[in-house]
Amino acid sequence: MGFSQRHLLGIEPLRPADIDCILDLAERYVDLNRAASKHGEALAGLTQINMFFEASTRTQASFELAGKRLGADVMNMAMQASSLKKGETLIDTALTLNAMHPDLLVVRHPQSGAVDLLAQKVNCAVLNAGDGRHEHPTQALLDALTIRRAKGRLHRLNIAICGDIAHSRVARSNILLLGKMENRVRLVGPPTLMPAGISEFGVEVYEDMEAGLRDVDVVMMLRLQKERMDGGFIPSEREYYHRFGLNSAKLAAAKADAIVMHPGPMNRGVEIDGEIADDINRSVIQEQVEMGVAVRMAAMDLLAQGLRREAMG
Amino acid sequence: MMRSVFINARLVDPEAGTVARGALEVEDGRIVRRIEGEVAPDGGEVIDCGGKCLAPGIVDLGVKVCEPGERHKESYRTAGLAAAAGGVTTMITRPDTLPAIDTPETLEFVTRRANEEAPVRVLCMAALTKGREGREMTEIGFLLDAGAVAFTDCDRVVSDTKVLSRALTYARSLGALVIGHPQDPGLSAGAAATSGKFASLRGLPAVSPMAERMALDRDIALIEMTGARYHADQITTARALPALARAKANGLDVTAGTSIHHLTLNEFDVADYRTFFKLKPPLRAEADRLAVVEALRSGLIDVISSMHTPQDEESKRLPFEMAASGAVGLETLLPAAMRLHHSDGIELPTLFRALSLNPARRLGLDCGHLGAGAPADLVLFDPDAPFVLDRWTMLSKSKNTPFDGARLQGRVLGTWVAGRAVHGEMTDA
């Protein structure tokens, strides 16, 4: 079965077959990225614009590299410094860029739903690189590829997602993806960092870290934003680390071969102990970054194939 | 002497709770008498209602007309035409304009604009505190003299209970009605949706429905303390209803309204960030909607309003969180209310009790019923006529309706204010 989507706006609209489709193609790009010559032609002649309305180093670099490796002409636009400061609306910005005939638009925006709104106004394929607290689909896909390669499968696994679930688009996309692929998902964290209605998500919720990590195959840590540390959502950084920071004692509750993941950038000593982050037997954090480029190459390749089919009628 | 007879009508009488065939005799802008059954016209103008429903015109409590300040969103002219087209014969306007209507001078300005421009009756509410800032009370006495019918800071909740208790005490001494917006300001800060699975999946900042009950509880306690006359503008959650019932049972002078949108839509209608469904308070869960419909049926909820809030296209074409709140409703109030009739089994007299009779009584107006002596403010409508709403056909200057493209049933055929036709083609037989 082929890829069914015109855009990649989130995990929510994807079928399991779409997810397999992206991951299978990404495996091939992992090999390409490890080869001496890293050039593909899948996006040759196409124009990719990266519009980041929110600061990003890693995701933007990953999308840029993915586009360049497949031969696209890539342009980066740091939108914080740009026209929005002059009062232009998101839609006008989108229409302006649309007039330049891009083929792929990669968008990050601090507001939930902003990328959906933009996708309604342009003719090209839009990839969501993170919108507010809503979704970050390529992150969930790269996490899925990392898990699949480490565990040999992407179903019937026990996976704990730990930390600030409420404000995390990474958590939302992962909950949706891992659920669609029939895994058991646990959420671990203080109740002030859990979204409302969480009991209806088809997940198990734990407020105790060790209980939450018991016998899991995968431990997925989330970044805790600095501005949430002081008194508002949790009492203090040190109390958070004590109760929810991942260290070897807490990790001992998980399966002996459990892997540790983190979307980065990490706060060592806040949500994760430096020793675990660097443990090559447990941590797959560097591999996640590698998979990120491959997954983004695959996603853009599939969307470009769709554009070509559309152009041919 | 101007005399006219509306014949061949189904008279919707919210006082008697009946719908009956009959005729209505009108003289010099007032209802003279009801005639049961068929009637042979004997002089004067004859209006054949064609067997359709004739009801007291709607008294819409809480309409925003954007004068002064934002006339590009809605003027008294366009709001008045929209009201006439929607069967609204009296608009009770809100003071949340720019600047706020908080002095007798501003109130006189808008009253004059309204009388010049609008084909329907317009009565104005004034702010409860200066600039709607929640610090100092307005000149309630002067504003009453200038014609203010109620006092409200609209969606800005007076959070300082000392300020509110003094304003309530002062208002009580003058018999002024105070209208509150029960939303706990802390819990609801920044919220764009009602908390729950849907808001969490969409990643939207959300408010617990408990914020409504907390604020209503607070307001009721202050009413018990001060003895003021109080109306809650929008009760939209199941959790607030027992508190409202207790206050009424305890004999406090408390009434409550709700918006037509909260009665007919729920949070899922937001779907993929559709900003025309962004309201204040936000749309609720279906269980809440059903509870509020039941409260309307039982009479616990007294008033249905459109909460007409015009917003221009630009302020809605934004990411959901940044988009402006509110929806226009003057023209869709009656057809949407017919959804309650057709889908939720609410009887027509019950609907017009909440649309016309109760708001008129609460504000001390003599309209809202079909009794002898009442002003001939009337709406003729076909409760069954189906249509698909095209928002660009609406008369409101702003077109931000959540019912665009919706299949609705119930059309306004004619509207009369003081016996004078202000809308429709059925002005003579």
CB A104 within 8 A of CB A76: no
Contact A113 B322 (CB under 8 A): no
Binning pLDDT at 50, 70 and 90, where does residue B333 land?
A: very high
What value does the mean pLDDT take over residues B39-51?
Answer: 83
Rounded percentage of chain B residues whose pLDDT exceeds 90: 95
pLDDT tens-digit profile of B1-30? Answer: 688 999 999 999 999 999 999 999 999 999
Residue B152's Cα: distance from chain center in Å? 14
CB B230 within 8 A of CB B169: no
Tokens of A212: 């939450």
Contact B317 A109 (CB under 8 A): no
Task: Note the pLDDT of residue B429.
Answer: 34
B383 upstream amide cis, omega within 30 of 0 = no
Task: Note the pLDDT of residue A84.
Answer: 60
| Same domain as A93, residue A71 | yes
**Measured between alpha carbons, how far is residue A91 from residues A94, A115, B277, B408 in Å?**
5, 10, 19, 31
Task: Note the pLDDT of residue A180.
Answer: 97
Q: Which of A171-185, A265-279, B245-259, B350-364 has the lowest mean pLDDT?
A: A265-279
* Nearest alpha-carbon partner for B304 in B243, B239, B353, B362: B353
φ/ψ (deg, to 5) at B93: -90, 155
What value does the mean pLDDT take over residues A281-295?
Answer: 97
Q: Which CATH number covers residue A128?
A: 3.40.50.1370
Selected catalytic residue, list A7, A59, A133, A282: A59
The CA distance from B275 to A112, in Å, is 12
**Beta bridge mates, A87:** none
pLDDT tens-digit profile of B55-111? Answer: 999 999 999 999 999 999 999 999 999 999 999 999 999 999 999 999 999 999 999
The CA distance from B404 to B389, in Å, is 5
Contact A117 B198 (CB under 8 A): no
A58 catalytic, yes or no? yes
The CA distance from B230 to A292, in Å, is 59
CB B45 within 8 A of CB B416: no
Q: Which amino acid is at B334?
A: L
Question: Token pair 């059903």 is at which residue?
Answer: B290
Selected catalytic residue, list A39, A58, A155, A226: A58
A136 catalytic, yes or no? yes
CB atoms near residue B16 (< 10 Å): 14
**Measured between alpha carbons, how far is residue B216 from residues A79, A274, B206, B325, B354 in Å?**
43, 50, 19, 21, 20
CB A20 within 8 A of CB A11: no
Task: Note the pLDDT of residue A232.
Answer: 85
* Residue A244, in any domain of the structure: yes
Binning pLDDT at 50, 70 and 90, where does residue B427 land?
A: very low
Name the CATH code of domain B56-362 (choices 3.20.20.140, 3.40.50.10610, 3.40.50.1380, 3.40.50.880): 3.20.20.140
Q: Is the pLDDT of residue A313 over 80?
A: no
Predicted TM-score of the model (pTM):
0.93
Could you tell me which chain A residue has the CA closest to the CA of B320?
Answer: A113
pLDDT tens-digit profile of B72-84? Answer: 999 999 999 999 9
Binning pLDDT at 50, 70 and 90, where does residue A4 land?
A: confident
Instruction: DSSP letter for A109, please.
Output: E
| Same domain as A154, residue A83 | no
φ/ψ (deg, to 5) at A147: -65, -45
Tokens of B307: 């909460």
pLDDT tens-digit profile of B382-391? Answer: 999 999 999 9
The CA distance from B364 to B285, in Å, is 34
* Nearest alpha-carbon partner for B107 in B62, B57, B55, B149: B149
| Same domain as A248, residue A232 | yes
Binning pLDDT at 50, 70 and 90, where does residue B426 land?
A: low
| Same domain as A29, residue A150 | no
CB atoms near residue A228 (< 10 Å): 16
CB A214 within 8 A of CB A253: yes
Predicted-assembly ipTM surpassing the 0.95 threshold: no
**Beta bridge mates, A159:** A185, A218
Tokens of A39: 């050039």
Q: Is the pLDDT of residue A310 over 90?
A: no
| Same domain as A264, residue A145 | yes
pLDDT tens-digit profile of A11-29? Answer: 999 999 999 999 999 999 9
Burial B68-83, CB ≥16 within 10 A → b, else e: eebbebbbbbbbbbbb
Task: Note the pLDDT of residue B178.
Answer: 98
| Same domain as A98, residue A203 | no
Domain that holds residue A201: 137-285
Could you tell me which chain B residue has the CA closest to the CA of A114?
Answer: B319
Binning pLDDT at 50, 70 and 90, where does residue A93 land?
A: confident
| Same domain as A100, residue A69 | yes
A282 catalytic, yes or no? no
**B416/A contact by beta carbon, under 8 A:** no
What value does the mean pLDDT take over residues B232-248?
Answer: 98
* Residue A1, in any domain of the structure: no
How is chain B split into domains, by residue range?
56-362
The CA distance from B413 to B50, in Å, is 10
Q: How would you classify the pairing of strands A184-188 and A204-206?
A: parallel
Binning pLDDT at 50, 70 and 90, where does residue A89 land?
A: confident
**Measured between alpha carbons, how far is residue A30 from residues A1, A144, B200, B291 in Å?**
22, 14, 34, 55
| Same domain as A206, residue A167 | yes
Tokens of B225: 């303390």
A86 catalytic, yes or no? yes
Q: Is the pLDDT of residue B317 over 50?
A: yes
| Same domain as A100, residue A171 | no
* Residue A2, in any domain of the structure: no
By a Cβ cutoff of 8 Å, what residues of chain A touch chain B? Answer: 12, 89-91, 109, 111-114, 116-117, 131-135, 166, 169, 172, 195-198, 200-201
Question: Token pair 């309003």 is at which residue?
Answer: B305
Q: Is the pLDDT of residue A188 over 90?
A: yes
Q: Which of B267, B273, B277, B314 to mutate to test the interface with A (most CBs of A within 10 A)?
A: B273
The tally of domains found in chain A comes to 2
Binning pLDDT at 50, 70 and 90, where does residue A85 land?
A: low
Tokens of A279: 């443990």
CB B193 within 8 A of CB B206: yes
CB atoms near residue B189 (< 10 Å): 11
CB A150 within 8 A of CB A281: no
Q: Under 8 Å CB-to-CB from B343, ≥6 apart: which residues? A: none
The CA distance from B25 to B15, in Å, is 18
The CA distance from B201 to A29, in Å, is 31
Q: Is the pLDDT of residue A51 over 70?
A: yes
Rounded percentage of chain B residues whose pLDDT exceeds 70: 97
Q: Which of A189-203, B48-62, B250-264, B364-378 has the lowest mean pLDDT?
A: A189-203
CB B366 within 8 A of CB B401: no
pLDDT tens-digit profile of A217-270? Answer: 999 999 997 776 666 899 988 999 999 999 999 999 999 999 999 998 999 989
Residue A211 three-state SS? helix
| Same domain as A244, residue A141 | yes
Task: Note the pLDDT of residue B418.
Answer: 97
| Same domain as A174, residue A143 | yes
Q: Which of A21-30, A184-193, B31-40, B353-362 has the lowest mean pLDDT?
A: B31-40
The CA distance from A213 to B28, in Å, is 81
The mean pLDDT value of chain B amounts to 96
Rounded percentage of chain A residues whose pLDDT exceeds 70: 96
Binning pLDDT at 50, 70 and 90, where does residue A81 land?
A: low
Selected catalytic residue, list A7, A69, A108, A262: A108
| Same domain as A148, residue A86 | no
**B18/A contact by beta carbon, under 8 A:** no
Could you tell me which chain A residue has the CA closest to the CA of B317?
Answer: A91
Residue A246 three-state SS? strand
What value does the mean pLDDT take over residues A92-112?
Answer: 92
Annotate chain B with three-state secondary structure. CCEEEEEEEEEEECCCCEEEEEEEEEECCEEEEEEECCCCCCCCEEEECCCCEEEECEEEEEECCCCCCCCCCCCHHHHHHHHHHCCEEEEEECCCCCCCCCCHHHHHHHHHHHHHHCCCEEEECECCEHHHCCCCECCHHHHHHCCCCCEECCCCCCCCHHHHHHHHHHHHHHCCEEEECCCCHHHHCCCCEECCHHHHHHCCCEECCHHHHHHHHHHHHHHHHHCCEEEECCCCCHHHHHHHHHHHHCCCCEEEEEEHHHHHCCHHHHCCCCHHHCCCCCCCCHHHHHHHHHHHHHCCCCEEECCECCCCHHHHCCCCCCCCCCECCCCCHHHHHHHHHHHHCCCHHHHHHHHHHHHHHHCCCCCCCCCCCCECCEEEEEEEEEEECCHHHCCCCCCCCCCCCCEEEEEEEEEEECCEEEEECCCCC
Tokens of A220: 């997925």
Q: Under 8 Å CB-to-CB from A31, ≥6 apart: which residues? A: none
Tokens of B232: 């809650």
A38 catalytic, yes or no? no
* Residue A40, in any domain of the structure: yes
Task: Note the pLDDT of residue A92.
Answer: 87
